[in-house]
Chains A and B, each alone.
Chain A
Amino acid sequence: MKNHLQTAVDLIQKKYNGELSSFRGHITLLIKSEFILEVCQILRDDFSFEVLVDETVVDYWRRKEPRFQVVYQLHSRQHDERIFLRTPISEDDPNTSSLVSIYPNANWYEREIWDLFGIRFEGHPDLRRLLLPKGWEGHPLRKDVPIKVEETRFTFNNDEIDRGKPRAEN
């Protein structure tokens, strides 16, 4: 890890209790979702991480608390460094702060996450579905939505299929 990145990581570890992990050269910091706005603000203003490269979610279904992790990837062009931030999100009340005020391109990434995972972003200016039609029920990239084609519905098994299929709340 280079000096610049090390300073940033140290600061976040100390001030925001970030959990550092490293895999195949990727530096990942796990922080609580209430700090994400502050941490991004500091990383952008003081450590020149001026690009939000990517924002997405991994769903660890059956693990209740926390069920999701939002993955942010920031890039500093000046130092050519990348840092990953992960924030755990609970299953019961999936919401977190929106980064649109810091990185304007978070807009569509967050709309996509809302669309496909059903995580709400507080402070997002336009949280509509992005990819799916607006009347779509559920959030298909959640792990409890089946991947494979469903069993054919007949009158005798219709209710059974519905019972076995947890649907995400809108």
Chain B
Amino acid sequence: MPIHYEVTSVTLDEIKNLVSDRAVTGETMLLNMGPQHPSTHGVLRLLLELDGETIITCIPDIGYLHTGIEKSMEGKSYQLAEVLTDRMDYLNTVGNNLAYCLAVEKLVELDVPPRAQVIRVILAELQRIASHLIWLATQALDLAAQSVFLYCFRERELIMDIFELVSGQRMMTTYIRPGGVWRDLPVEFEDAVRDFLGHFPKRIQMYEDLLTNNPLFVDRTKGIAVISGKEAVRWGMTGPSLRGSGVDYDLRKVKPYSGYEQYEFDVPLGENGDVFSRYIIRIQEMRESLKIIQQALDKLPSGPFRSDNRKFVPPPRSELGTSMEALIHHFKLWTEGFDAPKGAVYVPVSSPRGELGVLLESDGGPKPYRAHWRTPSFANLQALPILSEGHLVADLVAIIGSLDIVLGDIDR
């Protein structure tokens, strides 16, 4: 029996109750935007009902990047499932690892040594900057500022180099592991990060010089897609998209994890809730992240970089040749994995896009019975129809950019 499915477009009958009556009579135009449209930041398809240039309704169609990661995780042991987390939000790979590891640690009650926690914070904040750089690059490119695009990618490369230094991989690091991190930091790490900290503030200033007072940029962002704080909360928006509307909610402050309570930083808040506010917030957040990295680097404690609980964390390589116990633990961990107690945990972290949460349910065995990801892009994109209503098609490009969606994060 062949599996058969249609990939044809949506018919008017199916969406009759979603568009206005004028679309049925042909008075307004239905236009398909994407999924292969460069400014949809991936494979997002939008069905637009247009009156001239004005958007009446916007119906997002997602799922073009659905890879069934939640299902695949059910078939892998807790350690092995972690590599899948990198593949979801490919601009926040370290953040995904962190969320997943925190969930596993909470489930099995595993402690993380202080050094590992600080390393995690440094990498998560570097990742936040890298993600915001991609956002800034694409947002600027969508609004026809091409040089910013090139500059941002130049700086992002420095962060990618740091990731490569610590983990051997530029993007899919899987460096953070349940119980700590994969291996200790290389000696070059501190200099590389300090070097980055030294000249990145000037670069942020440069982006601001190019954009913040640029009349072309301001005209296309101020007053576009205004959403009130109350409405944003109602739609479940989180992250910079919510804070752009002036709602003070950041999980790093409200529910600190990995020792975020030890660092001093501000949560920037916007005033108008428009595209420009969201732009200012993210620029400010990059500066705050630098502050956190600076503090973390100064206090980086020495000590073990992962837990020595052998039931959940593999023993160091050096012990394998001399200790029978270590060999057994290593073998058991990588063939069977470890059993987690029965129950469900939910761990939210603050990803560059908002609240990223992992719901892990265990049935007592070595594999997650159910792994569900509450992804920030999914929640934020849902508000796109109300954000874009009444705006021009050209502005839609700016609105999508300002939500900072990653389709891998939405479709999973």
A: residues with CB less than 8 A from B are 23-24, 26, 28, 50-54, 56, 58-59, 71, 73, 77, 80, 82, 84, 103-105, 107-108, 125-126, 128-137, 140-141, 145, 147-148, 158, 162
Contacts and interface: CB of A to CB of B under 8 A. Distances in A.
Q: Which one of B236, B249, B378 has the greatest number of beta carbons of chain A within 10 Å?
A: B236
Interface string B1-21: 101111100100010011000
B364 interface: no
Interface string B151-183: 000000000000000000000000000000000
Contacts of B74: 147
B236 A103 contact: yes
A148 B233 contact: no
A137 B346 contact: no
A23 B62 contact: no
27 contacts: A23-B343, A51-B233, A51-B234, A51-B236, A52-B236, A53-B355, A56-B359, A58-B361, A71-B359, A73-B374, A103-B234, A103-B236, A105-B234, A105-B236, A108-B378, A108-B382, A126-B17, A131-B411, A132-B63, A133-B5, A133-B6, A133-B7, A133-B63, A135-B4, A141-B71, A147-B71, A158-B1
A135 to B, nearest CB: 4
B17 A125 contact: yes
Contacts of A128: 14
Interface of B: 1, 3-7, 10, 14, 17-18, 62-63, 66, 68, 70-72, 74-75, 106-107, 109, 233-236, 247, 249, 254-255, 343-346, 348, 355, 357, 359, 361, 369-370, 372, 374, 378-379, 382-383, 411
Contacts, number: 102
Given A24-B107, A126-B17, A129-B63, 6 more contacts: A56-B359, A128-B14, A134-B14, A140-B71, A141-B70, A147-B74
Contacts of A105: 234-236, 379, 382-383
A161 to B, nearest CB: 9
A96 to B, nearest CB: 17
B62 A130 contact: yes
Contacts of A73: 346, 374
A132 B66 contact: yes
B72 A77 contact: no
A148 B355 CA distance: 31
A54 B374 CA distance: 6
Closest 4 pairs (CB-CB, A-B): A131-B63, A105-B236, A147-B75, A135-B5
B58 to A, nearest CB: 14
